[in-house]
A and B are shown apart, each in its own frame.
Chain A
Amino acid sequence: QQPVQSPQAVILREGEDAVINCSSSKALYSVHWYRQKHGEAPVFLMILLKGGEQKGHEKISASFNEKKQQSSLYLTASQLSYSGTYFCGTPGEYGNDYKLSFGAGTTVTVRA
């Protein structure tokens, strides 16, 4: 089942922060995050695993709360290069964990 992302879109000025949320109706043991710029391939950012650990990529970090079945992506001190659509992906059951279900995406626009 497809995870739900919020907000659908966010507009930031350079240097501002933003949070993107991803929630699932099913139990999760990991969450994947990707960013896609217009007309380009989605690019892997990070995988969050069980344990509530946070990971980071540049000044982009994320958390994962498996009890609440949700993950959040934090864009800190945003840069122009952060613009794009962010997707969370949740894997299938054990044995089908290759099968990612992606949310509809959150479009981030960073302005100078």
Chain B
Amino acid sequence: GAGVSQSPRYKVAKRGQDVALRCDPISGHVSLFWYQQALGQGPEFLTYFQNEAQLDKSGLPSDRFFAERPEGSVSTLKIQRTQQEDSAVYLCASSYGTGGNEQFFGPGTRLTVL
């Protein structure tokens, strides 16, 4: 079956531009996560959705970062007024249940801010 997909795979933005990153989770998966992965590091938690409810946004680095999942399936991570330190790979993951279950990751979006 289809896995988690993300688009675009690569995004180059000029500093100050807004970007929107899309995640299509596995159909039927209740939980959806966004992570930020810097070069040579492990994924770092950004935010968690259970269906359409954003239950945890404690990892979002600033109020320039915003995520939504309005219908409980597709999710969008938006970054306003991008800065060079936002350059990273943004990973989306989904899981069937809630809690500490196996997470299925997408291939990520590599964001480069010039």
Contact = CB atoms under 8 A, between A and B. Distances in A.
Q: Do A and B come from one complex?
A: yes
Interface of A: 2, 30, 32, 34, 39-44, 47, 87, 89, 91, 96-105
The main secondary structure of chain A at its interface with chain B is loop
B1 interface: no
Contact of A87 (B3, B43, B102): B43
Contacts of A32: 100, 102-103
Contacts of A2: 42
B45 A41 contact: no
B100 A91 contact: yes
A98 B99 contact: yes
A40 B9 CA distance: 11
Contacts of B108: 41
A42 B100 CA distance: 16
Contacts of B3: 41
B105 A42 contact: yes
A100 B106 contact: no
A47 B42 contact: no
A5 to B, nearest CB: 8
A109 to B, nearest CB: 15
A90 B52 CA distance: 25
B4 interface: yes
18 contacts: A2-B42, A32-B102, A41-B4, A42-B105, A44-B103, A44-B104, A47-B100, A98-B98, A99-B56, A100-B45, A100-B100, A100-B103, A101-B45, A102-B44, A103-B42, A105-B40, A105-B41, A105-B42
A42 B44 contact: no
B45 A44 contact: no
Contacts of B40: 104-105
Contact of A102 (B31, B42, B102): B42
Contacts of A43: 105
Contacts of B105: 34, 41-43
B94 to A, nearest CB: 11
B33 interface: yes
B43 A96 contact: no
A99 B99 CA distance: 8
